[in-house]
Copies of this chain bind each other. A is one copy, B any other.
Amino acid sequence: MEMLQGVMEFQKNLAKDHAQVVPISVFVAVLCLCVVVGHLLEENRWVNESITAIILGCLAGGVILAVSKGNSSHILTFNEELFFIYLLPPIIFNAGFQVKKKQFFQNFLTIMLFGVVGVFISASIITSGSWWLFPKVGFAGLNARDYLAIGTIFSSTDTVCTLQVLHQDETPLLYSLVFGEGVVNDATSVVLFNAIQKIDVTRLSALTPLNVIRDFLYLFLTSTALGITSGLLTALVLKTLCFGRHSTIREITLMVLMAYLSYMLAELFELSGILTVFFCGILMSHYAWHNVTYSARITTRQVQENNIGHATKFLIVKKHVFAMMSFIAETFIFLYVGMDALDIEKWKMSKLNMGTSLGICSTLILLISVARAAFVFPLSAFSNYMNRAHSERGSKITFKHMIIIWWAGLMRGAVSIALAFEQFTFYGVTSDPINATMITTTIIVVLFSTVVFGLLTTPLINYLLPHPTTANDIIRERRYDDAREDMTLPLLSLEESAATNILRAKESLSMLMEMPVYTIHSYWRKFDDAYMRPFFSGPRPVSEHSPA
């Protein structure tokens, strides 16, 4: 009897352990496969990491579906908390940390037009469009808040595909606009989504949009302020503590923890963690990172006089720590989206026939395209008009550029999925057929836009911005570019933040000549050099043209 009990206890332990171990093992294995396949397909410029991850996720889901005899296709239930608490922060922090600050702030107004005003326009069009068209394709039962949420969910873009094709050196303006919009757009969507959650849908009035905008502005400003504060605080702590001493591991750990803390604090105060951690990333790469490398340089000089240059380069590379965390999180998300596409329970639950499903999806994809066109072209024209004073060759958005910007934002990604799960499920579970339909629809739209639009991106950009070289050259050159970027990009970012980079100055001299720095930006530079840098990033104020 006691022996039997012992055996049962052992089996229970086994089941308990395996409950966590099996799914994690399978998931990590598929993640490995993803990295390897992504690497193998690197030379194929039609396919990118996102598409690979989604397709592999679908395949893995299919295998699991077959093995479990149609019971389940996914091994981890999608949890929007997992997404918002663990996966999103490293991605956004890395985006802020790696952003080319100079270009980002020079094009700040245009980026904000696209990323903020654009989302408002797009969300309004998608909301009203779906409100009008969904009943016509035979799908009813959503309430006002659902329609508002749909508008926001399908306004968040995923620009990974486009950024893999655009060249930073060839089209700096285009690259910075697409990248900047991608980041700001993510944040705006989430902030707007949260603002909409607070609307009292029973008392809609003419004032409601104004209230949403007021809430939005409040969230936007407070979140940004929190991010800037924590970034500066980190810089100050690092500067105060590390003067004359040196422990890189501890410093980087502190940066990671402080960035994460700012994200969590923003969530705690019901602000937008995305915006906070994005600005925290920018501030950290501007001030705090400089302290890390600076203190390293000091210590190194004391130790090995002849080795200073090496040590500096040495430490700058550690930026890659952040890039790696971001890379894993991104692959994880896309893999998950692919795996979740075959979630048989939600498909069974939605109870709609093929035709209606197809109708809803095509309606949404159509609305997405129209809504994006409706703001990209007018806002680009507006931006051109605003910049006409100093707009020569460099800063004018041509019609071809507009088409690329429009196309770049047609893909929908992980943020859409996460918001849809937050709106239409309770902890990833739903029993309502209408909610289940919206989840499956979102997954289809994301899959379709990422795979189909994503595959067409390369040919489209090659057609619109013809490369002067042959295809083989492009591939080879791109590989070189990547390698060179790997070598110089971290350097440039630091040197740029120290405003002392000769290399960069040479490269972009012609651009600088043609496009004078905006007044605001140049005032900021003066203020930064005179007061901010000396206080936050160590005792070495440098003027813009002094050598390194």
- A contact set with B: CB distance below 8 Å: 2-3, 6, 10, 13-14, 17-18, 20-22, 24-25, 28-29, 31-32, 35-36, 38-40, 42, 81, 85, 197-198, 200-202, 237, 241-242, 245-250, 252-254, 256-258, 260-261, 264-265, 267-268, 270, 299-300, 302-304, 307, 310-311, 313-315, 317-318, 320-321, 323-324, 327-328, 479-480, 482-484, 486-487
A6: which of B21, B29, B40, B200 is its contact (CB, 8 Å)?
A: B200
Cβ–Cβ contact B483 & A2, under 8 A: no
How far is it, in angstroms, between the C-alpha of A179 and the C-alpha of B61 when the chains are bound?
Answer: 44
Cβ–Cβ contact A303 & B483, under 8 A: yes
Whether A250 contacts B39 in the complex (CB less than 8 A), given A28-B257, A258-B32, A315-B317, comes out as: yes
Cβ–Cβ contact A20 & B483, under 8 A: no
A314: which of B10, B20, B317 is its contact (CB, 8 Å)?
A: B317
Cβ–Cβ contact B253 & A324, under 8 A: yes
What residues on B are CB-neighbors of A248 within 8 Å?
A: 320, 486
What residues on B are CB-neighbors of A320 within 8 Å?
A: 248-249, 252, 318, 321
15 further interface pairs, Cβ-Cβ under 8 Å (given A25-B268, A39-B242): A3-B200, A20-B85, A28-B264, A29-B261, A38-B250, A42-B245, A42-B247, A246-B483, A246-B486, A249-B327, A252-B320, A256-B328, A302-B480, A314-B487, A318-B321
What residues on B are CB-neighbors of A323 within 8 Å?
A: 249
Whether A31 contacts B313 in the complex (CB less than 8 A), given A18-B268, A39-B241, comes out as: no
Whether A24 contacts B484 in the complex (CB less than 8 A), given A35-B253, A254-B36, comes out as: no
Closest to A49 in B: B250
10 A-B pairs with least C-beta separation: A25-B264, A299-B483, A28-B261, A32-B257, A35-B254, A21-B267, A303-B483, A21-B268, A249-B323, A249-B324
Whether A3 contacts B202 in the complex (CB less than 8 A), given A42-B245, A268-B18, A315-B317, comes out as: yes
What residues on B are CB-neighbors of A328 within 8 Å?
A: 253, 256-257
Cβ–Cβ contact A487 & B311, under 8 A: yes
A303: which of B17, B81, B268, B484 is its contact (CB, 8 Å)?
A: B484
What residues on B are CB-neighbors of A21 within 8 Å?
A: 85, 264, 267-268
Whether A487 contacts B25 in the complex (CB less than 8 A), given A36-B254, A324-B321, comes out as: no
Cβ–Cβ contact B318 & A2, under 8 A: no
Closest to A422 in B: B13
Chief secondary structure at chain A's binding surface? helix
Cβ–Cβ contact A25 & B483, under 8 A: no
What residues on B are CB-neighbors of A315 within 8 Å?
A: 317
Q: How far is the CB of A13 from chain B (nearest CB, A)?
A: 8
A40: which of B241, B300, B307, B313 is its contact (CB, 8 Å)?
A: B241
A24: which of B10, B264, B307, B324 is its contact (CB, 8 Å)?
A: B264
Q: How far is the CB of A308 from chain B (nearest CB, A)?
A: 11
How far is it, in angstroms, between the C-alpha of A265 and the C-alpha of B25 when the chains are bound?
Answer: 7
What residues on B are CB-neighbors of A261 within 8 Å?
A: 25, 28-29, 32
Q: How far is the CB of A329 from chain B (nearest CB, A)?
A: 11
A-B pairs with beta carbons under 8 Å apart, 28 shown:
A2-B202, A6-B200, A10-B197, A17-B267, A18-B268, A21-B85, A21-B267, A21-B268, A24-B85, A28-B260, A28-B264, A31-B257, A32-B257, A36-B237, A36-B241, A39-B242, A39-B245, A39-B250, A40-B241, A42-B245, A247-B482, A249-B320, A253-B327, A256-B324, A300-B487, A310-B310, A313-B314, A321-B321
A307: which of B6, B201, B241, B487 is its contact (CB, 8 Å)?
A: B487
How far is it, in angstroms, between the C-alpha of A327 and the C-alpha of B251 when the chains are bound?
Answer: 11
How far is it, in angstroms, between the C-alpha of A246 and the C-alpha of B17 when the chains are bound?
Answer: 38
Closest to A273 in B: B21
How far is it, in angstroms, between the C-alpha of A3 and the C-alpha of B20 when the chains are bound?
Answer: 41
Cβ–Cβ contact B81 & A247, under 8 A: no
Q: How far is the CB of A56 from chain B (nearest CB, A)?
A: 14
Cβ–Cβ contact B22 & A268, under 8 A: yes
What residues on B are CB-neighbors of A10 within 8 Å?
A: 197-198
How far is it, in angstroms, between the C-alpha of A256 and the C-alpha of B324 when the chains are bound?
Answer: 10
What residues on B are CB-neighbors of A85 within 8 Å?
A: 20-21, 24
How far is it, in angstroms, between the C-alpha of A217 and the C-alpha of B38 when the chains are bound?
Answer: 40
What residues on B are CB-neighbors of A247 within 8 Å?
A: 39, 42, 482
Cβ–Cβ contact A250 & B35, under 8 A: yes
How far is it, in angstroms, between the C-alpha of A254 and the C-alpha of B28 when the chains are bound?
Answer: 10
What residues on B are CB-neighbors of A245 within 8 Å?
A: 39, 42, 479
How far is it, in angstroms, between the C-alpha of A369 and the C-alpha of B272 when the chains are bound?
Answer: 54
How far is it, in angstroms, between the C-alpha of A22 and the C-alpha of B268 when the chains are bound?
Answer: 7
How far is it, in angstroms, between the C-alpha of A2 and the C-alpha of B28 when the chains are bound?
Answer: 45
